[in-house]
Amino acid sequence: MYNRKSSKTIFFTGTGTVVVFIIVYCLLSAISPGLRVSSAEYRNVIVLYLSLFIPLNLISWLCLGQLGGVLILIFSCFFVLMTLLRYGVFDYNIYVPLFCIAAFAGYKILSRLNAFRNRSLAMLEVLEVEENSLALKISKKEKDMEFAEKRFKGYAALKDITEALSSTLNLDETIKLVTSKAFKIIGSDRVFLFLSGQKQQRLTTFDSWILKHRKSLIIQDLDNDFRFSIEALADPADRQYKSIIGVPLMSEKKVMGVLRMDSMAKGAYTQDDLRLLDIISDLAAVSIENSMLYERTNELAITDGLTGFYVQRYFKEALELKVGNAGAQAGRFSVAMIDVDYFKGYNDKYGHAAGDLLLIKLAQAIRALAGEGHVIARYGGEEFAMILPKADKKAAMKISEDIRKGLEKTLFTLRRDEVKLTVSIGISSFPEDGTTAEKLLKTADSNLYKAKESGRNRTWPGSI
């Protein structure tokens, strides 16, 4: 670094050079009286001494830079002058131009070296700029490739979702597919899919916000999101999740539910993740709507539109299946036939619309009194049929009596009148009353008419 030596380096180097030459000069002065004896030797020493200033001036420009070169030139000329004054030998004036020539040569060499260095530095700076620019381009290309690869995988995964969803019309399987695929594509600590109208599901503040505003939601840091308060979360376990994205499940203009993902890490989701989730929700909404429509169609095919009980056809198929399973496993079960006493009188007095309303309320009461686990069907008109699994004759008698007595105590409102009704029940049990569905139905129906013939409002089990 020729022209950038620190001032301290130049000072100490120059001072050292001056000191050395002063010491030499003093030595020459000390021995000069002896040398004067021999004029030739004396002149040789002076010539040698002054000649040392020639390379000194050249080297000083290279080693000490411009300032050091000028100082050494002045110092050299000063010593020539001191020599002339001390010894009176004016022949050595020739050294002054020699010193200047050496200094000029050093200056030119230094200038060329500086120019070369400056060009090298400029080229180096250009190379560094190009290197940085190239590094940025490479980094951008790598990010673009990473983004393209991620997008490609995302679209490939969306294709898989479409194919998977098109292969099922089962609602539970559809929901499971949507959540598992969303978890795999985007990545999260947990995934939720809420459907409107399902009371057993717990909606959070975020789900309610999405349903209310009908638009997507992204939260990078729940601790610093002005829209929501951590303290407002009902479940303390929800407070550990810091990043949230959610989208509404839309079918045309109807909101069907919410698809939401939570992460414990801050800044876990990007706008691209939200766009992917939005696409998944669109696919899910269509599939879920189809599944719900399919299930609804199946329900309409096997259930009575008025009471919500199964239809006679489905009941007979279920009974056939039950007989086959019970026969193979030596199981026991019973069948109960229920008929409303004097139902025609209610229709005549209050009208058929009121009669239908009475059947709806009656079905609700029977469902509540019978409890879970039974297959109940509207067998025809005001007649109902039940399969009582694992119930022998005594157990079937108890269940039937609980229903009969419960209905007898129930008040039904028709046209602002409070009315009571009674039912008659006939029972048959497998295998003692029959080993086929036809025989069991025939026996239960026969026992039902025996209950009616014996005064109604009673249960007829046949032989116990």
Give the 3-state secondary structure of residue 390: coil
- What sign does the CA torsion over 105, 109, 110, 111 have? positive
Same domain, residue pair 179 and 269: yes
Same domain, residue pair 327 and 454: yes
The number of beta carbons lying within 10 Å of the beta carbon of residue 419 is 15
* Cβ partners under 8 Å of residue 442, min gap 6: 434
Least confident of 29-43, 117-131, 225-239, 256-270: 29-43
**Nearest by Cα to 192 from 121, 100, 284, 119:** 284
With 80 as the cut, is the pLDDT of residue 328 above it?
no
Q: Which amino acid is at 64?
A: L
pLDDT at 395: 93
Q: Is residue 11 part of a domain?
A: yes
Same domain, residue pair 250 and 118: no
Q: Where are the beta strands (DSSP E) in 94-222?
A: 190-195, 217-219
With 70 as the cut, is the pLDDT of residue 154 above it?
no
With 80 as the cut, is the pLDDT of residue 377 above it?
yes
pLDDT at 28: 53
What mean pLDDT is reported for the chain? 82
Q: How confident is the model at residue 251 (pLDDT cuts 50, 70, 90)?
A: confident
What is the chain's alpha carbon radius of gyration, rounded to the nearest angstrom? 53
Same domain, residue pair 194 and 289: yes
With 90 as the cut, is the pLDDT of residue 446 above it?
yes
Asked which of 90, 124, 158 is the last residue of a domain, the reply is 124
Q: Is residue 433 part of a domain?
A: yes
Bigger pLDDT: 392 vs 29: 392
Q: Is residue 353 part of a domain?
A: yes
CA 63, distance to chain mean position in Å, is 65
With 50 as the cut, is the pLDDT of residue 2 above it?
no
Asked which of 299, 333, 368 is the last residue of a domain, the reply is 299
Ranges of H-type helices in 303-413: 312-329, 343-350, 352-370, 393-409
Q: Is residue 397 part of a domain?
A: yes
Q: Which helix (H) or strand (E) holds 3?
A: none
pLDDT in tens, 181-231: 888 888 889 999 988 876 666 788 898 899 888 999 999 998 888 888 777
Instruction: Count structural domains, the chain.
Output: 3
Same domain, residue pair 249 and 331: no
Q: Is residue 151 part of a domain?
A: no
Question: For 158-163, which contacts have Cβ atoms below 8 Å and span 24 or more sequence positions?
Answer: 158/185, 158/276, 158/279, 158/280, 158/283, 161/280, 161/283, 162/283
CA 85, distance to chain mean position in Å, is 93
pLDDT in tens, 291-304: 887 877 777 778 88
pLDDT at 423: 96
Least confident of 33-37, 54-58, 302-306, 456-460: 33-37
Q: State how far the Cα of 59 lies from the Cα of 110, in Å rounded to an integer.
A: 10
What's the Cα-to-Cα distance from 238 to each of 13, 60, 187, 191, 223, rounded to whole Å? 74, 78, 18, 13, 12
With 90 as the cut, is the pLDDT of residue 337 above it?
yes
Same domain, residue pair 335 and 399: yes
The stretch 395-418 carries a mean pLDDT of: 92
pLDDT above 70: percentage of residues in the chain: 83
Ranges of H-type helices in 330-378: 343-350, 352-370
Same domain, residue pair 382 and 353: yes
Q: Is residue 388 part of a domain?
A: yes
Same domain, residue pair 272 and 362: no
The stretch 223-249 carries a mean pLDDT of: 84
pLDDT at 72: 77
Q: State how far the Cα of 316 lies from the Cα of 322, in Å rounded to an integer.
A: 10
Least confident of 101-115, 172-186, 307-321: 101-115
Asked which of 273, 299, 325 is the last residue of a domain, the reply is 299
The stretch 378-384 carries a mean pLDDT of: 93
What's the Cα-to-Cα distance from 142 to each of 129, 149, 150, 273, rounded to whole Å? 20, 10, 12, 19
> Tokens 């598992």 map to which residue?
180
pLDDT at 35: 42
Same domain, residue pair 321 and 258: no
Domain span holding position 90: 7-124
Q: Which one of 9-18, 26-35, 190-199, 449-458 scores highest in mean pLDDT?
A: 449-458
pLDDT at 379: 93
The stretch 362-379 carries a mean pLDDT of: 92
Would you say 274 and 245 are in contact if contact means Cβ atoms under 8 Å apart? yes
Q: Is residue 163 part of a domain?
A: no
With 70 as the cut, is the pLDDT of residue 118 above it?
yes
pLDDT at 305: 85
With 60 as the cut, is the pLDDT of residue 6 above it?
no
Would you say 248 and 210 are in contact if contact means Cβ atoms under 8 Å apart? yes
Q: How confident is the model at residue 315 (pLDDT cuts 50, 70, 90)?
A: very high
Q: Is residue 417 part of a domain?
A: yes
**Which is catalytic among the residues 382, 401, 418, 432?**
382
Bigger pLDDT: 377 vs 153: 377
The stretch 237-244 carries a mean pLDDT of: 86
Same domain, residue pair 356 and 433: yes
382 included as an active-site residue: yes
Return the CATH number at 325. 3.30.70.270
With 60 as the cut, is the pLDDT of residue 441 above it?
yes
Q: How confident is the model at residue 327 (pLDDT cuts 50, 70, 90)?
A: low
Same domain, residue pair 390 and 423: yes
pLDDT at 66: 75
Return the CATH number at 282. 3.30.450.40
What's the Cα-to-Cα distance from 67 to each of 13, 97, 392, rounded to whole Å? 12, 19, 120
With 70 as the cut, is the pLDDT of residue 68 above it?
yes
With 70 as the cut, is the pLDDT of residue 119 above it?
yes
Same domain, residue pair 254 and 391: no
Q: How confident is the model at residue 369 (pLDDT cuts 50, 70, 90)?
A: very high
